Structure 1
Amino acid sequence: MNTIAQDQSPSYDDVIAAIDADPEEFWLNQATRHIDWVTEPTRAVDDANAPIYRWFPDGELNMCFNAVDRHVAAGRGDQAAIIYDSPVTDTIRTITYSELLGEVSRFARALSDKGVVKGDRVIIYMPMVPEAAVAMLACARIGAIHSVVFGGFAPNELAVRIDDTSPKAIISTSCGVEKSRILEYKPMVDEAIDIAANKPEFTVIVQRDEHRCEMSENDVDYAELLANTPEGIDPVTVKATDELYVLYTSGTTGKPKGIVRDSGGYAVASAFSMPTIFGLNPGDTMFTASDVGWVVGHTYIVYAPLLAGVTSVLFEGKPIGTPDAGTFFRIIEDHGVNVHFTAPTAMRVVRKEDPNGELIKKYDLSSLRASFLAGERLDPDTYEWTTNILAEATGRDIPVVDNWWQTETGWPIAANPLGLTQFPLKAGSPTKPVPGFHVEVLDPSGKPMPAGEEGLIVMKLPLPPGTMTTVWGDDSRFVSSYLSAFDGYYLTGDSGYLDEDGYVFVMGRTDDVINVAGHRLSTGVIEAVIASHPAVTETAVIGVHDDTKGQSPRALVVLGDSAEVADPDTIIAELVALVRKEIGPVAAFKQVDIVSALPKTRSGKILRKTMREIADGVDSPAVPSTIEDPAVLEALESVLQQG
């Protein structure tokens, strides 16, 4: 047995050795160390249905109790749980753990009184307001399964998620607030419900002062609901294997995949990650500049900080323009932030507005211990600029920590673990796998690749706790999408390599999902929208390099004969508007090239990877020997290179 005493500060190698020696004992120890159980688990992992695994199968708990109640019971109710900082509404509000418990338990009772029970689904379609976190926790309190949809997603995309989960209720706001506009949410929710075949029984609306919406027969006012619910409700006990939430990620088939997260495994992993990866402990403060519509927001705005007794800053705004590129750093000073977490895109736009860091240097960043960047590949330029600017602003070396993970994993796969061992950094690498993730690189036949040689990044099963348990309503899709390529492995969909020191280098996607400012979008879904235009006969969408967003979608479109006399600029404008309407502004779709033909293999496969490499300026783009007509590709080269 290789165990670690709880009063020790283990090294990375210590933890890896303990997991390798007895993973069952290690994870059971973490479960009892970090989480309060109604029924303590006696088993770590259930492999009866491998390759689908379940964590802590005989354990019972409640996530909301662990995130809120137990801190109040321990005498820390006066500590700030959430600090809401909204420069777009000029609001700063501190919510203590006691206050959070009161509002969450009352809203949970209100939902229960309206018939929401354990196992029901509730969709949350909200901006970054405290009520979004309250709604998540209230669902967890009564055992309902929440599915957060990014506020502002187009009605059609929301309708797809409504039909997939069949929610009993939708929780939304009257509007979202941006620097230069008010985005009305209620009409989008109404349109989505109208489109969807599965209708929710009721909708709860948080009315905001910036715009108060008209209410209809099935709408309930959030404030009135709470006013009429003076007493809270006790937490409902659920199994560790019961679903906590469903979070959608783009699917290459065009239908989004509902990633299912369990209650027990996710609680253990989230709590374990806070001291281990982020070096954060009770009483510390974390500022994650993300959104609860994305996985980073789920784990590191809501669940992980609260499970760990950490104060979480919930930010409504943008890295620039609210009012300027110093916003993040004003928040760090104002709230004594110890760890800041954002996306490389955010730092790129800050750099563009404030290249010399003059705004950053205005603020006292003495509380800051580390800056974490994730959601897309951290390019060396952004890493070096962020590192240098923070050093200039503080006079200290502030670790800038790249970390790589996915919606599917729920927490980082690879990162420099600040609470264990800080490794020397290598540009372009998030350093080593987080303990629990066994990362390997294989060739297409399943043969291990030598160090330094690129291949398919996979992870040995079982994945650690906290990772996805299945695709909502479709175990077979879970297996076929992730677990069937190589026996005993999870296919990440990313390509890359491990170097001789075991550092992970992620080079890009192997499927047709692109990463726009940290948001994964299916090119297949964008293509389907474009193809619905009557003038379009064929299209291919590729993700091309973007200095700010990481990638941006670019469409190559072949028009039908009847469209040849039409004004190309008009068609392009119509296609851009169509994608914005059907998918939303998050796609950042602007570039359309009308071409005469698309390059294909003889079997009919469009050469998307080849076109992407040409557009990105790769010296020797890969051209398959099975190309049907090389002249078609040659004719496109000048178009693609124009960018």
Structure 2
Amino acid sequence: MSENFEVKVDSKSYIPDPAYREQSFLGDYKAVYKEFIQDPDEFWSRMAKEIEWIKPWTKVLEWNHPYARWFTGGTLNITTSCLDRHVKEGRRNKLALIWRGEDGEERVYTYRQLHRDVMRFANALKKIGVQKGDRICFYMPLVPEHIIALLACARIGAIHSIVYAGFGAEALHSRIRDAEAKVVITADVGKRRGKVISLRSIVDDAVRNAPSVEKVIVLCREKCSVELYSEMEEDFYSLLEGVSADCSPEEMDAEEPLFILYTSGTTGMPKGIVHSCGGYATGVHYTAKYLFDLKENDVIWCTADTGWITGHSYIVYGPLSVGATVVITETTPDWPDPGIWWSIIEELGVTLFYTAPTAIRMFMRVGEEWPNKYNLDSLRIIGSVGEPLNPEAFEWYYRVIGKMRCPILDTWWQTETGMHMITTPLGEPMKPGFAGVPIPGIIADVVDEEGNSLPPGQGGLLVIKKPWPSMMRTVYRNDERYKKYWNQIKDYYAAGDLAVKDEDGYFMILGRADDIIIVAGHNLGTAEVESALVEHEAVAEAAVIGVPDEIKGQAVKAFVILVKGYTPSQKLVSELTYHVRMSIGPIAMPAAIEFVDTLPRTRSGKIMRRILKAKEMNMDLGDTSTLEE
């Protein structure tokens, strides 16, 4: 960044019912944060003791920049925290999973059933030669067998690498090859918006020229159109025939890898983020219990897919570690109509709903009448993950879905961080546009390029100053890429995001640092301009990029999706340009506005501005494997 930039900070806030704080597991945020600062090792030791260990650790943290070793000498298996202990401690017959298919089919699993099925599939994997340390690639729809199989991998110490089942064969192939996967687990089909999508044919293409692959396990959901023909192929349920439902958990060192998850960089091959057993298990248990405040009778629905870190942490490992009931579904938010998600919340009594700002803005666009048809009184807490939750979406979500009653947990974190890092703890004032404060265990700041802390109201780079247990350990087979995170700014973790703090220490995330537009020497965060556009009643969503300008160096170009009922016109272009001028200033006025029906985005909902920019300038699109469309 050539200079820092001032950000207009709105101080509006909402205070939740004090009962939320009084009854929460976390309690008084400020007091707990102070305890953490006074003795970080004691804080993390206390959190780690809440999960199951086979052998206790001898040291909480060994930090040798940029490498961390957490819970040195400790051994565990994450599945005993997620399954065995609940079966032993009174949750044997409690619902662990409720699955809803697109056609209304429903299946439920108690902790006892899930435990037994995981152990059976773990033995089935052993039967075909899977050993500790082998990489297993998943390309599956969001069905119960997916959760069972990935927990089975963890049970025997195999490293899972989940690839979202919407990627094409090339993206899947590159991840299989990079991870050197021994086994691929898939299904014959996925189901989306009433269509049946062949997954097996994509896997057939992806495993060509992938010499590491020895077996492909296929879950047949339809009648498989042809018999499993390849010598490599095994039927998911046939593999389970005659297999014991008793499988002892593999003893894993705290620092051994649990999984690899690929995430797009701004350029080049996706990065294989490696997470370890002990630190990750501690981080997701802590955040699921103390930030989501999951209670015994809670039903959590995180609408992500397991192909993303959100699904790993807050569909599978976090909620199951706490012993919650988890809802999973293949349904999309607007099919067969935009009421489907609200009907599921009403019918299944969902108490904690965690979704993406993209979905919230889509619901805003179709109107309040859809959620208003359903009884959402079961909701206790609502959350947001992905892009920054702009103030307009916050207000709508709080009023229409939360009924001015449910606190919003707007969470900032990354694939690389493994767990929540910044949010507004229950009971603290909520500020639209601000994710919140660093959670106990995390020291965050906004700094300049040299790592100097910036004052409130001044935008800069978001950093995490100290290591935390669920941090990634490396980039698979590319340690240099890992080191860059810790070597760019002092000895801090550089998140790659821009942020600003207010006087109370609340963080507003402004977007990616590489999404900065420098207009006549002034730095503009794309999120700030987009938020100004979305404030206009005609705008449902907006994305802005910098385009070359002979005089200013760069100018702002906006891509705008209109709310139903509005039509593109020159008058509207003038209105929106003026609106941005009045909201931010003349420097932020778009030089051009293009009305569009869709925006390119990743599966996790983040708008890929570099795609817009590449198309605008007739450039190569680079790695587009994580695009939704």
Q: TM-score, normalised by structure 1?
A: 0.78
Match of 2:16 in 1: none
Report the equivalent of 1:17: 34
| Aligned counterpart, 1:282 | 296
Cα deviation, residue 8, structure 1: 8.3
Give the unaligned 5+ runs of structure 2: 1-23, 518-528, 561-576, 597-629
Superposition pairs for residues 189-200 of structure 1, below 5 Å? Answer: 189-194=203-208, 196-200=209-213
**Counterpart Cα distance in 2 of 1:209 and 1:36:** 39
Which one of the candidate residues 140, 143, 160 is aligned to 2:157? 143
Give the letter for the 2:48 counterpart: A
Question: Is this contact kept in 1: 2:449–2:489, CA < 8 A?
Answer: no
1:208 corresponds, among 221, 244, 262, to 221
CA contact (8 A) 2:544 2:556 kept: no
1:479 aligns with 2:496: no
Contact 2:542 2:558 (8 Å CA) reproduced: no
Aligned partners of 2:418 and 2:472 also within 8 Å: yes
Distance 1:184 1:554, change over 3 A: farther
* Equivalent residue letter for 1:224: S
Aligned-pair Cα RMSD in Å: 2.8
Runs of 5+ unmatched residues, structure 1: 1-6, 515-542, 557-597, 624-636
Do 2:345 and 2:376's aligned partners in 1 also have CA atoms closer than 8 Å?
Answer: yes
The 3 A distance-change label for structure 1 pair 359 and 308 is same
- In 1: Cα distance, 2:549 partner to 2:212 partner: 43
Task: Tell me which amino acid in the other structure corresponds to 1:12.
Answer: Y
Distance 2:207 2:543 in 1: 30
Q: Does 1:489 align with 2:492?
A: yes
What residue is the counterpart of 1:45 in the other structure? 61
Distance across 2 between alignment mates of 1:197 and 1:599: 46
Partners of 2:423 and 2:557 in 1: CA distance = 28
* DSSP 3-state at the match of 1:253: coil
Q: Deviations over 1:535-579 (max 9, x none)?
A: xxxxxxxx98997996669999xxxxxxxxxxxxxxxxxxxxxxx
Q: 1:347 aligns with which of 342, 352, 360?
A: 360
Corresponding residue SS for 2:401: helix
Paired with 1:439 and 1:21, the residues of 2 have a C-alpha distance of: 16
Q: How far has the Cα of 1:17 moved from its partner? A: 1.2
In structure 2, how many angstroms separate the alpha carbons of the residues matched to 1:642 and 1:337?
A: 37
Counterparts in 2 of 1:144 and 1:56: CA distance versus 1, 3 Å = same
Q: Which residue in the other structure is 2:458 paired with?
A: 453
Greater shift, 612-621 or 69-78, is seen at 612-621
Q: CA deviation at 1:232?
A: 3.2
2:388 aligned with 1:377:
yes
Counterpart pick for 2:337 among 324, 336, 339: 324
Query: In the alignment, residue 165 of structure 1 is paired with which amino acid?
Result: A
Matched, 1:77 2:104: no
Task: Assess, with a 3 A threshold, how the Cα gap between structure 1 residues 444 and 641 changes in structure 2: closer, same or farther.
Answer: farther
Tell me the equivalent position of 1:467: 471
What is the one-letter code of the residue matched to 1:429? F
Confirm or deny: 8 A CA contact 1:207 1:213 kept in the other structure. Answer: no
- Report if the CA contact (8 A) 2:169-2:206 is conserved: yes
- Whether the 8 Å contact between 1:390 and 1:397 is mirrored in structure 2 is no
Alignment pair present for 1:259 and 2:273: yes
Cα distance change on mapping 1:213 and 1:413 into 2, 3 Å: farther
- Aligned pair count reads 535
- Contact 1:269 / 1:465 at 8 angstroms: preserved in 2? yes
CA–CA distance in structure 1, aligned partners of residues 146 and 514 of structure 2? 32
Q: Name the aligned partner's letter for residue 35 of structure 2.
A: A
Q: Does 2:325 correspond to 1:311?
A: yes
Cα offsets for 1:345-380 (capped at 9, x unmatched):
112222222x12x33233333321011011111111
Match of residue 572 from structure 1: none
CA deviations 1:426-477 (Å, max 9, x no partner) are: 1200111111121111112322211110011111022x11121111122221
SS of 2:409's partner is strand
1:521 is matched with none
Q: Secondary structure at the match of 2:34?
A: helix
Any idea what SS the aligned residue of 1:340 has? strand
2:555/2:591 contact within 8 Å kept: no
**What secondary structure sits across from 1:190 in the alignment?**
helix
Q: 1:641 Cα shift?
A: 5.4
Alignment pair present for 1:389 and 2:409: no
Paired residues for 1:237-248 under 5 Å: 237-248=251-262
* Contact 1:121-1:146 within 8 A present in 2 as well: yes
Alpha-carbon distance change, 16 to 343 in structure 1, aligned in 2, over 3 angstroms: same
Cα offsets for 1:313-355 (capped at 9, x unmatched): 011111111x3222222222222221110111112222222x1
- For residues 203 and 530 of structure 2, the distance between their equivalents in structure 1, rounded to whole angstroms, comes to 32
Contact 1:345–1:549, Cα closer than 8 Å, also in 2:
no
User: Does the CA contact (< 8 Å) of 2:43 and 2:441 recur in 1?
Assistant: no
Deviation, structure 1 residue 642: 6.5
**CA displacement at 1:235 relative to structure 2:** 0.7
In structure 2, the residue matched to 1:626 is none
Structure 1 position 116 matched with structure 2 position 163: no
- Could you tell me whether the CA contact under 8 Å between 1:283 and 1:309 is conserved in 2? no
Q: Give the one of 24, 28, 36 matched to 2:45.
A: 28
* Cα distance, 1:375–1:37 mapped onto 2, change above 3 Å: same
Matching residue of 2:348: 335
Write the distance in 2 (CA, Å) between the matches of 1:235 and 1:286: 26
Matched residue type, 1:468: M
Q: Does 245-254 or 497-506 show the bigger shift?
A: 245-254
**Partner Cα separation in structure 1 for residue 550 and residue 162 of structure 2:** 39
Change (3 A) 1:9 1:129: closer
Identify the match of residue 158 of structure 1 among 156, 172, 175: 172
Q: Who is 2:422 aligned against?
A: 414
Inter-partner Cα distance in structure 1 for 2:432 and 2:545: 28
Partner amino acid, structure 2, of 1:179: R
CA distance in 2, matches of 1:337, 1:182: 28
C-alpha change, 1:456 and 1:41, in structure 2 (3 Å) is: same
Are 2:413 and 1:405 equivalent residues in the alignment? Answer: yes
Q: CA deviation at 1:214?
A: 4.9
In the alignment, the residues of structure 2 paired with residue 197 and residue 512 of structure 1 have an alpha-carbon distance, to the nearest angstrom, of: 36
Q: Distance in 1 between matches of 2:69 and 2:540?
A: 36
Match of 2:501 in 1: 498
Q: Distance in 2 between matches of 1:26 and 1:113?
A: 42
- 3-state SS in 1 of match to 2:261: strand
Which residues of 2 match residues 58-73 of structure 1 at below 5 A? Answer: 58-73=73-88
Amino acid at match of 1:445: E
The one-letter code matched in structure 1 to 2:32 is V
Q: Structure 1 residues 180 and 379 mapped into 2: Cα distance closer, same or farther (>3 Å)?
A: same
1:299 to 1:326, Cα distance in 2 relative to 1, 3 A: same
Matches within 5 A, 1:223-238: 223-238=237-252
Query: How do 1:589-600 and structure 2 match up within 5 A?
Result: none
The one-letter code matched in structure 2 to 1:471 is: V
How big is the shift at 1:213?
A: 5.5
Contact 2:26 2:290 in 1 (8 A): no
Q: CA deviation at 1:615?
A: 5.7
Corresponding residue to 1:125 among 120, 139, 143: 139
Structure 2 residue corresponding to 1:55, chosen from 66, 70, 94: 70
**Residue 13 of structure 1 aligns to which amino acid in structure 2?**
K
Q: Which residue of 2 aligns with 1:432?
A: 437
